Structure 1
């Protein structure tokens, strides 16, 4: 499973970076959840119900809530982390030791593979990022029309935009504001 699968979930809350004002919850797109599961390497899940999608939306909203203080260089409150722990409790695992021809391996396996486990895996991915990486490198694109969330892995932690297109749009907007000011 991918290391920061929580980012994929958060970014299903899509905003048109070009400034049209369009907004879409991509979790509601047909086939999107199946696409995410395939991308995350999760197989054999039962068909998602409206309740499943609502659960993912609630988890996404919680992660966005926890991210908000990080964007202001503050740590989240304990009650927000406690809410994240509720999701972590939904993904109990067990250890299994096995061997192949030359190695002994220790695997961590889920006690059950259901949607609660998926929620817990997403929450665990986010918790690992908070605890094992620099949480203040979690950022939102500075393009006010975009709001894409990303993890800044640049050496100076100074990245301001999610990707090149947003950076270009913002440069053009700044240029136009300087050279073609709008009349009062």
Structure 2
């Protein structure tokens, strides 16, 4: 999905090295990302546009954290998301009443503001058309990858069972071994 791929542009080494990188600062990654999501712009983002993209990512991260914590959406976050969606070729307005979301659309324009509007709208569509309670943050504290849990029983804990899932299983095993070794016999 557009919104979570964008959010995961802030990469953290899931193996625990502490390394991280902001892929929005890498023009080649940004171009690949635009192509992958069939988005087009006339030029690379200016420093102000790049700062606005990073602010959008922070807004979405805060909103996802609230969703994962089962908190009600903050009114100021909805207002900001609506403001960003308004900057695109289609004015999109997210509303919430009795914890039900809806999107109103009105046609308009094209550029980095449009890209941001598409990202915001992609997130808004998940809130409206899908089950927001399936939005997750990887349980690996070194990863923090955001994903949508599409498993039947809603039990997915890690962004990838083969990477983060196995790593955390090994960490738990080693912690148990260490604890057992410390116990007096």
* TM-score category, normalised to shorter length: 0.7 to 0.9
User: Equivalent residue for 1:54?
Assistant: 51
| Unaligned ranges ≥5, structure 1 | 95-107
1:84-137 deviation line (CA, Å, top 9, x unaligned): 00001111439xxxxxxxxxxxxx996322111111011000000111111111
Task: Quote the residue 2:94 is aligned against.
Answer: none
Identify the residue that residue 150 of structure 1 maps to in structure 2: 147
TM-score of the aligned structures, taking structure 1 as reference length = 0.84
Counterpart Cα distance in 2 of 1:176 and 1:55? 43
Q: Which residue of 2 aligns with 1:176?
A: 174
1:60 CA displacement: 0.4
Alpha-carbon offset, residue 33 of structure 1 = 1.2
Per the alignment, in what secondary structure is the counterpart of residue 27 of structure 2?
coil
CA distance, structure 1, for counterparts of residue 17 and residue 115 of structure 2? 33
In the alignment, the residues of structure 2 paired with residue 82 and residue 7 of structure 1 have an alpha-carbon distance, to the nearest angstrom, of: 20
**Higher relative helix content:** 2
Residues 89, 110 of structure 2: 8 Å contact kept: no
- Contact preservation (8 Å) 1:67, 1:76: no
**Aligned length in residues:** 168
TM-score normalized with structure 2 length: 0.84
Partner residue of 2:33? Answer: 36
The verdict on how the C-alpha distance between 1:133 and 1:87 changes in structure 2, with shifts beyond 3 A counting, is same
Correspondent of 2:66 among 69, 78, 83 = 69
Whether contact under 8 Å (1:91, 1:111) holds in the other structure is yes
Tell me the secondary structure at the aligned position of residue 21 of structure 2: strand
Aligned to 1:23: 20
Residue pairs, 1:69-108, within 5 angstroms: 69-93=66-90
2:5 aligns with 8
Whole-angstrom CA distance in 1 between matches of 2:63 and 2:27: 28
What is the Cα-based RMSD across aligned positions, in Å?
A: 2.1
Residue 94 of structure 2 is aligned to residue 119 of structure 1? no
Can you give the 5+ residue segments of structure 2 that lack an aligned partner in the other structure? 92-104
Instruction: Give the equivalent residue in structure 2 for 1:97.
Output: none
